[in-house]
Structure 1
Amino acid sequence: MDDQGDNSFPSAPRAVEPATVAHINPVTGLATDYLNHFNEAIMLLEMLPACPDCRDDLRAWTPMRYCEHFRRSRFTGRNRAIAAYESADPATRDMLEALTETMIALVERARKEIDAETNARVSAGIAERTAAWLKLLAEQASAVINGQRTESTDGPPQSAADRMIG
């Protein structure tokens, strides 16, 4: 059979849209790449029970807001991500910010408690609980970024963090 008449092969890829390159949700204008920052903290907390030396890495983790994260990243679409964020729906941005403020407060509280704790088993429990809560919050933040969550039910970040670790 002649290959020239075979239409079973997909056509050549089209040019990628700039929003796709930047992994920006076209509906919300937000990029999931920001959550990688929190995934790093989750990973460190999950490793802490088996690797107490991760405490130093956890101490070194620096909270960053959305635009700051992209300004410091090597992410190819960082300027587009910042511009899209700045023009995103304020209510959606506020929802994401409330979740990430809660995540930051949770990590900071856990770090303080882990640093103050001398019992490795208790520290491991704090790290495991915090990682579990952060995963849930990261899922909620991802839902906001992807336009799947439309209303906020979270309280102030510190009170939420207190309830979670409590």
Structure 2
Amino acid sequence: MECLDPVLGAGDLAAERLEQANINPQTGLATDYLNHFNEVMMLLEMLPDMPDCAEDVLDWEPLGYEGHFENSTFKDKQLAIMAYSAAPAFLREHLETHIADIDELVGQIQDQLRNSSDAASVAEDIAYRATHEIKPLIALAGAVIHGHLEPEATQHEGDGAQAEIDALFA
């Protein structure tokens, strides 16, 4: 018996259907996932003016791509999960690397808040780190979702990675 995995561009994952669902038809990834990180970014940047947001920052938890969609109100969440499964492995891995970096930085900031007796005293530093460390990582994750990889992303993944990228966008 042969198992047929979903393929980007075919059947349920046809390009037109993915586009209508705001899922990149070439990568199989959706920018809606970044909303999870944009929410905490907004809170981190507001901290200097609203230190009481610290509790919301502390409540934030990392959430993987599939988990985000499983728990979201995204209209086509099952399609997003299916497309993610069909996305090229090197893109998923590259996205997950950026996400792990974001999760780690937010975790460090949460620790900084927990260890501070007063959120206002660390708020400026936290907002600066969010803007200058986390926001660029969110932008890199967005670039992966749109199929724009920095050149070094393919140099360490073997000879086949560049060929996959070239075929994906040919």
Q: Would the TM-score normalized by the shorter structure come out above 0.5?
A: yes
Contact 1:110/1:127 (8 A) holds in 2: no
Partner of 2:31: 32
Deviations along 1:29-58, one digit per CA (max 9) or x if unpaired, are 100000010000100000111111001111
Greater CA drift, 57-66 or 129-138: 129-138
Cα RMSD between the aligned structures? 1.8
5+ residue gaps, structure 2, are 1-14, 155-170
- TM-score of the superposed pair, with normalisation by structure 2: 0.76
1:4-153 aligned within 5 A: 17-118=16-117, 120-149=120-149, 151-152=152-153
Deviations along 1:80-118, one digit per CA (max 9) or x if unpaired, are 110000011000000000000110111011110122123
What amino acid does structure 1 have at the position aligned with 2:25?
P
What amino acid does structure 2 have at the position aligned with 1:102?
D
Measure the CA separation in 2 of the matches of 1:111 and 1:78: 29
Identity, % of aligned pairs?
43
Question: Displacement, 1:131?
Answer: 3.5
5+ residue gaps, structure 1, are 1-15, 154-166
- TM-score of the superposed pair, with normalisation by structure 1: 0.77
Task: Name the larger-Rg structure.
Answer: 1
Contact 2:51/2:123 (8 A) holds in 1: no
Greater CA drift, 58-67 or 130-139: 130-139
